[in-house]
Every structure is written in C-alpha cells, then in structure tokens.
C-alpha cells in the first residue's frame, strides 16, 4: 500500500503490544509491511484465534485477516482397568479390560493389541477423555498373553502405552496312555505312560486299576507346555501276570484349581499261555452206570486254545460211552474201568498248561475170593481171608459174621490190599464152623462168601438117641448108623463081640461112608439077611491122627417109635408159633409126627392137633393174640405110637398185632 500500512494484532481477544513491524518497497510500487509477534498459549487452550488488522491512516481503510491456531499437545498416559495383576482367570470366562486416556489435543486414539496383534475394542469419548474396552472370551491362548493399550494423537511421535499380562487357568485338553512294549506278555515288565496336555496350573496325575487308586510304582515328570502351561507325565511299571488280562488301567489328569479332569483308559490284553481255573475238586466220583461231566475251563490269550486229554498218561479215545469235546469229558454211562488219572493239556501260541484230576467210579463191593477151608491145630493161629473188589472200599465195608458166636471177643480183624483177615488165636473145636465174609459199601445189596474153619481134634461120637438103635425084621437088611465129628478126616471100623468086621464080606456086610459136613462124617453098616444071631450090640470106632472114639449101636427088630425130644420154639408172632424137635428112634420104620396144643387161658380147653408128616419143624397158625399155649409132640409108625413129650412146654403169642 502507499503509504505503508500499520499492522495491529489481536490474539485471543487481546491487543498485542510487543509485535515487530518491517516495511520494504514493493516491486510494483508502494510498500510491503510485515509484522511478527509471539504469543504464549495457555495449557488449557485447544485453539487460539489471531486477528491481524492492516490500517492506512491516510485513506481511512483497513483490512482484517483472522486465523485460528489449533493447539496440539500429547494425551495423558493410558491407564488399564478391569484386571488386577496376579488374578487368575478361568478359561472360558468373559473378561473385560478398559483403557482410558485423558487430555491431549486432539483427544488420543486408543488401540488395543494382543501380543502385538491389533484387536477390536469399543471406544467411548467424553469431553476430556477417551476410553476403549475389549471383551475377551478367555481361552488357553490368553495365558501370559500381553494386552497392550496405545494412546496417540498428532502431538505424539511415539504412542503412549500400558500393558497387562493375563494369567489364565486352563485344564488339560486330553490325556493319552502309551504302553511299552505294545504286546504285553506274562512274565515281563511293562511301562504304562500317561501324558497330559498342557495345563495351568499343572495337572495332578492319578492311576486307577479297575477303579482302585494306585499309589506305588509311579514316577511323575513335567515340562513346559503350550500357552505357558505345563505338560505332565506319569509312568507306572507293572509286572505282567495272566491275571491282569482284561484289567482296565485308567489315567486321570485333574486341574485342581478348576476341578476339571480328563481321562484315558487302556485294557490290558496280556498274552499268556492257557491257565486253568481252579478245579472245584481234584477228585471226582460217580456211580457205575451213571453219567458224569468233567468240565475244566482254561483261559489264555490268544483265545484260540486246543485241548488234548490223556488217561493214565495214554491218549484218551472217545467211545460210545465217552464224548470228548475240547475241555469237556462227558461220560454217558460210567464203567469201573473209567477210574484213573485224567490230564487235560491246553495249548495256544504262548505255550501249554496241564491239569490233572482223579476220577473214581464207585461200584458195589463184591467178595471175589475167600479161604474156603482152613485147617489148623489147636495151638496154631487161624487166619481166614476174604478178598473184595469195590469202590469205595475199606475195612469198614467188610464184616465177618457167624451165628451164635462172639466174633468181637474171639477174633481180630484187619484189612490190607483189598483183603480182610479174620484171625483167631489158639483156636478150639468150639471155633469150628462157617464164617461169612460180607461186603457192603451201600451201593447195592451185600455180597458174601463163606469160609469154613476146621480145628484139628480127635473124634467125638454123636450119641443122639435115634442113632443108638437100629431095627430090622428077620430076613431084611439092617442099617446101623455111626456118626462122629473130628479133624482131620475120620476112618471108621465096626466091631461085633470084640472082633472087627472085615471089609471083604459083601454077602453079609457092606459099608457106606458119607461126609455130612467139613468135620462130620458118617459110616453105615448094612447087615444083610438079618438072622436071630445078628441082633445085638455093634461097636463103631472112629479114628484120626489125634485119637479115636467109640459108640454102640443096638440092632433089634422093628417096633413102635420112641418119643421125640428137644422140643423148642423158633419163632413167635401174634397168631402163630414155629416149633422144632429132634426125632427119637423111629423103630426102624418111617415115622410121622403129631403136634398137640391147647390154650391155658380157657376153661376146660380141648387139645388141637396138627399132623406134620415127617417134618420136624412146624408152624402152628390161627392162634389167639397174647395167649399162652401148651405144646407136646409124639411119633408114630405103622407098628404103633410113642408117648407125647412132657406136657410142660409153654409158649405165649405176641400181644402186638402188626
């Protein structure tokens, strides 16, 4: 302008006094006026309005220029809130973190970073501050993650920042069990290793065997894991046995802080040779003719098992009565020959095992042999034996019996090698007789055989009345009977009037010899064509190595019989009586008998009669219950009758009806 202008400043509404001004000629003419001034901006000012007035006093004109100066200054340092250092967050929970920056012009721009990677946030702006909040659904990657909040504006060359490091608790994601070696064999040692994935804090490791905690033989280890957690590992050494096959080992990894756990389990598939289950009994028994099933069970791995049976170490072949199917023996009909030791061998690819059991077939006890006749002297020891077969069989299954003889007092009994021995010390002739060996083991009816004991002794004559006489009519033949006991066997001779009757006179005499039993012998002298001179007494002599004995037999003419003797009772019931008597001399003719009886409880009773023929044992029937009777007997032949036996024999029937 021309003349030069005068410049006035108005800053923030206030005139400036200390401004400098300079004027220089303008190339086009006139003058250029330049003014500089300096103003201090208050800290609370975000902008400053500067007005410049150009005045030309001669022309009374001015020009005005206004400029607003934006005041730039950095924001306040960012502050993070919402998380306290050292606090542990559970993975899966929501965590909010806020960052605020106050002041600054312009207000700061806040940016969040996770491990230097920008993440979204929600910003809130007020007049004096700005804040940004991040919402975190925490996971394993947040553990030890650095969250950084940066605050920057155009006044900052390097953003202001604050960081926070999160501590996140997270459980192990999984566990895995490894076994070494992979194939488990009985008799070896294996290592089970359980590896847990990363966990914070470190997982507590536990082993279970079929649900039961294990505390011994465990080795624990750990190493840094992912996301600043810890890998935990646990080893268990086990001695492999067949019994472990099928057991389940379970590993648990537990984050105690979170009370969360993961599991893994392994089933022990143990390779082992077959093992037989414990047999319920080492000895099995059955009765001959019955069925029997033998079923031992073997387990092993591999499960493919083959079986072989032997009996008494020889291969066992099936039969119509025996079916062999693997480990099963099925006897459809037992035989005593089936008794023996049976062995079953079970084989798989790991080896073989055998089991043995005894099968005992029970069958009835049977007497198979006996000492039928034993001859001893009176100073010897008599030993009778009886060999028995049967199962079961012991001394209690064999007994010795003899009627009217005290076995327990007179004998000793022993049993050895299936043989029962009956021993009599210093036997006498009273011990002569039949001893019955009876075998009975309760399976069927008893079996028995008889042994006869003969004790050597000199002859003893039978002096029964009916043997002391003989009868024959003239011209007939007379039979004189001489009977004696003795051992060893007897020889007989006959004498008449002191002279021995020769054996070589068959026209007049003949001799018959009979063995009645083992110690009783009989000699019969037959006198042919009896004459008057033949009647009279004959002497019989019986001899053996120990001595002799004599008896006299009188030959006379036939006559009526003599009365019977030795009447005795054999059995009594409520309505019957069985009697026996010994015949008297029959008069040389066939005799028959008549029995008479009467009740003693009736007034004036009559006799009742039973003709018995030639029987000397008779049962009287149709008697009264509980009644006393008197019995007597007589003999008769065609020449006459004998007297009745004395009428003093009394018998009372039973008072109890069946």
Q: Does residue 509 fall inside a structural domain?
A: yes
The two beta strands, 491-496 and 499-500, are antiparallel
Let me know whether 287 and 263 are in one domain.
no
Number of structural domains (the chain) is 7
Is residue 188 situated within a structural domain? yes
More confident residue, 7 or 145: 145
Q: Which two tokens stand for residue 225?
A: 């894991």
Cβ partners under 8 Å of residue 629, min gap 6? 577, 597, 598, 599, 600, 620, 623, 650, 651, 652, 653
Band (pLDDT 50/70/90 cuts) for residue 460 is very high
Residue 657, pLDDT score: 87
Question: Does residue 97 have a pLDDT over 80?
Answer: yes
- Among 29, 48, 70, the domain boundary falls at 70
Q: Please answer whether residues 383 and 368 qualify as being in contact, where contact means their C-beta atoms are separated by less than 8 angstroms.
A: no
In a domain, 494, yes or no: yes
* pLDDT confidence band for 44 (50 / 70 / 90): low
CATH number of the structural domain spanning residue 596: 2.60.40.10
Q: What is the pLDDT of residues 416-444, one digit of tens each?
A: 999 999 999 999 999 999 999 999 999 98
Average pLDDT over residues 100-126: 92
**Would you say 240 and 186 are in contact if contact means Cβ atoms under 8 Å apart?**
yes
Token pair of 625 as six digits: 């219950």
Chain centroid to Cα 305, Å, comes to 22
Stronger pLDDT, 652 or 29, i.e. the higher one: 652
Are 406 and 491 part of one and the same domain? Answer: no
Residue 454 has pLDDT above 70, yes or no: yes
Residue 550 sits in the same domain as residue 593: no
**Does residue 341 belong to any structural domain of this protein?**
yes
43 pLDDT band (50/70/90 cuts)? low
426 & 465 share domain: no
The model's pLDDT over 193-240, given as tens digits with 9 standing for 90+, comes to: 999 999 999 999 999 999 999 988 899 999 998 988 899 999 999 999
pLDDT at 546: 95
CB 520, CB 485: distance < 8 Å:
yes
Considering the domain boundaries, does residue 1 fall inside one? no
| pLDDT for the residue numbered 194 | 95
pTM: 0.60
Instruction: Choose among 388, 393, 437: nearest CA to 411.
Output: 437
Q: What is the pLDDT of residues 617-655, one digit of tens each?
A: 999 999 999 999 999 999 999 999 999 999 889 999 999
The residue range of the domain holding 339 is: 273-362
The full DSSP string for 516-579 is: -SSSEEEEEEEE-S--GGG-EEEEEEEEETTEEEEEEEEEE---PPPPPEEEEEEEE-SS-EEE
Mean pLDDT of 327-336: 93
Tell me the pLDDT band of 328, cut-offs 50, 70 and 90: very high
pLDDT in tens, 354-363: 999 999 999 9
Distance between CA atoms of residues 516 and 519, nearest Å: 8
Determine, yes or no, domain membership for 318: yes
- Using the predicted structure, report yes or no on whether residue 8 has a pLDDT greater than 90: no
pLDDT at 20 over 90: no
Q: Which residue, 557, 585, 601, sits at the end of a domain? A: 557
Mean pLDDT, the chain, rounded, equals 92
């Amino acid at each position: 302008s021309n003349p030069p202008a005068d410049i006035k400043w108005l800053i923030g509404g206030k005139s400036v006094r200390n401004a400098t001004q300079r004027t220089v000629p303008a190339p086009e003419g006139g003058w250029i006026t330049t003014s500089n001034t300096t103003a201090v901006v208050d800290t609370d000012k975000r902008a400053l309005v500067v007005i410049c007035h150009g005045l030309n006093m001669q022309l009374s004109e001015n020009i005005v220029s206004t400029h607003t100066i934006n005041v730039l200054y950095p924001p306040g340092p960012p502050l993070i809130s919402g998380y306290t250092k050292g606090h542990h967050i559970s993975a899966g929970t929501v965590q909010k973190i806020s960052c605020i920056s106050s002041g600054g012009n312009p207000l700061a721009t806040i940016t969040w970073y996770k491990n230097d990677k920008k993440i979204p946030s929600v910003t809130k702006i007020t007049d004096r501050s700005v804040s940004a909040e991040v919402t975190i659904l925490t996971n394993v990657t947040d553990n030890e993650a650095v969250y950084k909040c940066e605050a920057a504006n155009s006044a900052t060359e390097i953003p202001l920042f604050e960081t926070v490091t999160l501590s996140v608790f997270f459980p192990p994601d999984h566990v895995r069990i490894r076994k070494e070696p992979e194939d488990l064999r009985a008799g070896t040692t294996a290592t089970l290793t359980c590896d847990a994935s990363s966990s914070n804090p470190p997982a507590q490791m536990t082993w279970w065997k079929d649900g039961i905690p294990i505390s011994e033989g465990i080795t624990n280890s750990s190493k840094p894991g992912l996301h600043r957690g810890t890998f935990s590992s646990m080893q268990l050494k086990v001695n492999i046995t067949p019994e472990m096959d099928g057991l389940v080992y379970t590993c648990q990894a537990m984050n105690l802080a979170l009370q969360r756990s993961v599991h893994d389990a392994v089933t022990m598939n143990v390779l082992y040779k077959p093992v037989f289950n414990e047999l319920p009994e080492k000895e099995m028994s059955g009765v001959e003719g019955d069925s029997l099933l033998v079923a031992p069970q073997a387990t092993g791995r591999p499960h493919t098992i083959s079986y072989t049976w032997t009996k008494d170490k020889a291969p066992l072949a099936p039969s119509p009565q025996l079916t062999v199917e693997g480990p099963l023996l099925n006897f459809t009909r037992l035989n005593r020959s089936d008794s023996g030791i049976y062995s079953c061998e079970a084989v798989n690819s790991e080896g073989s095992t055998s089991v043995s059991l005894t099968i005992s077939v029970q069958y009835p006890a049977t007497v198979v042999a006996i000492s039928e006749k034993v001859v001893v002297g009176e100073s010897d020891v008599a030993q009778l034996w009886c060999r028995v077969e049967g199962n079961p069989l012991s001394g209690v299954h064999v007994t010795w019996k003899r009627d009217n003889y005290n076995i327990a007092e007179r004998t000793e009994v022993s049993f050895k090698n299936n043989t029962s021995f009956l021993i009599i010390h210093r036997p006498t002739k009273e011990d002569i007789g039949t001893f019955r060996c009876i075998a009975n083991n309760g399976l069927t009816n008893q079996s028995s055989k008889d042994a006869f004991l003969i004790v050597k002794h000199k002859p003893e004559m039978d002096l029964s009345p009916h043997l002391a006489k003989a009868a024959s009519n003239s011209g007939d033949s007379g039979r004189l009977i001489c009977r004696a006991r003795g051992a060893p066997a007897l020889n007989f001779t006959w004498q008449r009037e002191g002279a021995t009757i020769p054996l070589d006179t068959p026209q007049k005499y003949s001799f018959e010899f009979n063995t009645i039993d083992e110690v009783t012998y009989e000699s019969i002298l037959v006198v042919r064509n009896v004459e008057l001179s033949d009647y009279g007494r004959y002497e019989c002599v019986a001899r053996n190595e120990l001595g002799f004995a004599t008896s006299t037999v009188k030959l006379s003419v036939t006559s009526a019989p003599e009365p019977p003797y030795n009447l005795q009772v054999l059995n009594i019931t409520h309505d019957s009586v069985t009697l026996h008597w010994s015949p008297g001399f029959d008069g040389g003719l066939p005799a028959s008998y008549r029995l008479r009886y009467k009740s003693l409880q009736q007034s004036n009773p009559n006799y009742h009669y039973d003709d018995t023929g030639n029987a000397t044992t008779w049962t009287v029937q149709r008697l009264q219950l509980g009644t006393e009777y008197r019995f007597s007997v007589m003999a008769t032949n065609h020449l006459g009758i004998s007297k009745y036996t004395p009428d003093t024999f009394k018998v009372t029937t039973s008072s109890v009806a069946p």
